[in-house]
Amino acid sequence: MASIWLFGPNVDTDQIVPGRYAPYMTSEAELGKYPFIEARPEFRTQVRAGDVIVAGPNFGCGSSREYAPRALVAVGIAAIIAPSFARIFYRNALNLGLRLFVADLTLALSDREQAVLDLETPALIAHGETFALPKPPDWVRQTWAEGGIIGYYRRHGQLPLVESTAPTQENSR
Amino acid sequence: MPDTSHTAAPSADSTTRASVHRAPTLAERILSHAAGREVRAGDLVIVPVDRCMSHDSITPEVIDALQNDLGNAGPADPDLLVVVMDHVAPAATVATANAQARVRRWVAEQRIQRFYDVGCGVCHQVMLEEHLVQPGQIALGTDSHATSYGAIGAFGTGVGTRDMALALASGRTWLRVPETLRVNVRGGFHPGVSPKDLSLFLCGLLGLDGADYMAVEFHGLDWLDLDGRETLASMTTELGAKVGLIPPSGVVLERFAVPDWLLVDDAGAPHYARTLDVDLTALESQVSVPPEVDHVRPARDLGDIKVDQVFIGTCTNGRLTDLHAAAAILARQHLAPGVRMLVIPASHNVLQAAVADGTLATLLAAGATIGTPGCGPCIGRHLGVIGAGEVCLSTANRNFRGRMGDPEGLIYLASPETAAASALTGVITDPATLPNREV
């Protein structure tokens, strides 16, 4: 079972990892100690691998710091579900293989509720209800499967996406 | 309040792909040129990157990604990369000193010529001053305010560590062609009002995600100086924008080589997802109230908010024009009792110019102190972080909780004019309300 960590709108990267806790200031090995260290201090002590963040719009706004999503990967966050993501955070998360789903479940779920994340369907199941999650494009799924963009690039010698002129899905940005 | 009539409301299907037969927006024009085919909003492209910029805070991670994950010792082309030491400059701790020493060794080993060490200035200012990015180019930076390069009509955008490492290994990156939000500016600024006020006004109007994933394209600013263009372009990041573009005109045409294909023919009716009209003659000084950049109010409506520290600097407002504006207000005056004022020029060149023309003497006489050109306390690491309960009025770009020091410190954002006026009175002050002054 995953625990749901509920957040509001506009969670900025300074809340996720303040700049003074960057690996540059501390060390990469310590990164897992710092997610939400000031915004929500109980997070880093109570979070468990496989937990899911459910947040309001514009999650990850602000800085381009990849160590913000990297810190969430370090503690084992399985997915982040929000109605929208800030664009650099979206790219950084994708590049790290961190699953993001564009959906608004903030009113459907409560904080620290237990849930099951079904990455295949994909869906989130909580209090007997199944909440469908949007299916990402194939190239996003392939990137996830390789553990991120660098894993994909190393295996295939190219970027995962196919250049397109067709309308693209909302979360392929 | 400025008039912001929406001449084109967002269409119900604004994500529908605009026809390639329609004239391109500036972002579409640049990405079409780079991709070698006509592309429009919503398309995915893989494009060559003309320039990469990485600063001291992220370069160690980029080296790790290149060496440990990609098996490359360094960039495929050392001339692609610019490295600037600005985020903790000079080093404040043993950890940052060691990380910087490692970056210097790597830069030497990899024969990276374009290395700008401590004191050269904020990365984006160095990029533009040294003409390390050119109009029409695609430039990636390991910093969200790489949007600054839109000031000269370059497609500058922020990326994280892995995107930077891949761009350095392959010379390419992928981008989704953004929709464009067009801002038509009419009129000019009142005395004491400046581009930062326009940026903050737009943040208040549109919100932190008002241009998420989008390009912002400004029109009606042919008369604006380069410093002001940099402020406007960089602050589009606070709207969530991918890029903030000002079509090359005026001073940019004088100082930069602008390719013909970039010069915009406005007659072709590009597809804009949204268009705003802003009348600058109705714009007054704006202040962003913590803890979010889009909590914006006119300075005169704030009441008496006492300030402990005033900070003038950063890639947003640390340029010569900004220091001139502050000096004009502080000339033959002195800081209010209990106020400390930090001035951190955006670059060594700005610092030298401010020394040469007497601006620095004016600011020092008023009681200000000067820091090493670089990011200063903007990211809360050194050189003027604030304590719990303290109020800083800053010309930087973000006021998130804990951004600049203790999470219980409060960061208000404003123009250099408002910062100087507030340093004089000790409370947040609209410069237009200063008695008997020509501001």
Average pLDDT over residues A141-170: 81
Q: What proportion of chain B, given as a percentage, has pLDDT over 90?
A: 92
Q: Compute how many other C-beta atoms are within 10 angstroms of the C-beta atom of residue A9.
A: 18
CA distance B29 to B31: 6
Q: What proportion of chain A, given as a percentage, has pLDDT over 90?
A: 90
| C-alpha count within 13 angstroms, C-beta hemisphere, residue B10 | 12
Mean pLDDT of chain B: 94
pLDDT of residue A164: 72
Strands across the sheet containing B81-84: B115-116, B81-84, B51-55, B138-141, B155-158
What fold is seen in the domain A2-135? Aconitase; domain 4 (3.20.19)
Q: Contact A24/B99, CB-based, under 8 Å?
A: yes
pLDDT of residue B426: 98
Type of residue numbered B389? G
Look at residue A166 and tell me whether its pLDDT is greater than 90.
no
Cis peptide before A35 (omega within 30 of 0): no
Q: Rounded to a whole number, what is the distance in Å from the CA of B177 to chain A's nearest CA?
A: 9
Q: Compute how many other C-beta atoms are within 10 angstroms of the C-beta atom of residue B68.
A: 10
Average pLDDT over residues B364-386: 97
Q: Contact B70/A10, CB-based, under 8 Å?
A: no
Domain regions of chain A by residue span: 2-135
Pick B400's closest partner by Cβ from A14, A159, A170: A14
pLDDT of residue B377: 97
**CATH code linked to domain B25-44+178-282:** 3.40.1060.10
Look at residue A171 and tell me whether its pLDDT is greater than 50.
no
pLDDT of residue B100: 98
pLDDT band at B19 (very low <50, low <70, confident <90, very high): low
Q: Compute how many other C-beta atoms are within 10 angstroms of the C-beta atom of residue B358.
A: 12
Q: What is the ipTM of this complex?
A: 0.94
Q: Contact A58/B95, CB-based, under 8 Å?
A: no
Average pLDDT over residues A5-33: 97
Average pLDDT over residues A77-94: 97
Q: Rounded to a whole number, what is the distance in Å from the CA of B122 to chain A's nearest CA?
A: 15
| pLDDT tens digits along A119-145 | 999 999 999 999 999 999 999 999 999
pLDDT of residue B392: 98
| pLDDT tens digits along B359-369 | 999 999 999 99
Contacts of A66 in chain B (CB under 8 A): 58, 61, 160-162
Q: Rounded to a whole number, what is the distance in Å from the CA of A128 to chain B's nearest CA?
A: 33
Task: Check: CB of residue B223 under 8 Å from CB of residue B315.
Answer: no
What fold is seen in the domain B46-176? Aconitase; domain 3 (3.30.499)
- Please state the CATH superfamily assignment of the domain spanning residues B288-433 in this structure: Aconitase, domain 3 (3.30.499.10)
CA distances from B59 to A78, A107, B96, B380 (A): 28, 40, 12, 19
Contacts of A26 in chain B (CB under 8 A): 95
| pLDDT tens digits along B110-142 | 999 999 999 999 999 999 999 999 999 999 999
Look at residue B5 and tell me whether its pLDDT is greater than 80.
no
pLDDT band at B6 (very low <50, low <70, confident <90, very high): very low
Average pLDDT over residues B59-75: 95
pLDDT of residue A168: 41
Domain regions of chain B by residue span: 25-44+178-282, 46-176, 288-433
Min mean pLDDT across B96-105, B261-270, B383-392 is at: B261-270
Q: Contact B162/A39, CB-based, under 8 Å?
A: no
pLDDT of residue B269: 86
Q: Which residue of B has its CA nearest to A21?
A: B381
A10 touches chain B (CB under 8 A): yes
Q: Compute how many other C-beta atoms are within 10 angstroms of the C-beta atom of residue B321.
A: 18
| pLDDT tens digits along B290-329 | 999 999 999 999 999 999 999 999 999 999 999 999 999 9
* Pairing mode, strands A129-132 and A123-126: antiparallel
| pLDDT tens digits along B163-208 | 999 999 999 999 999 999 999 999 999 999 999 999 999 999 999 9
A148 touches chain B (CB under 8 A): yes
Look at residue B95 and tell me whether its pLDDT is greater than 70.
yes
Q: Does the fold of domain B288-433 match that of domain B46-176?
A: yes
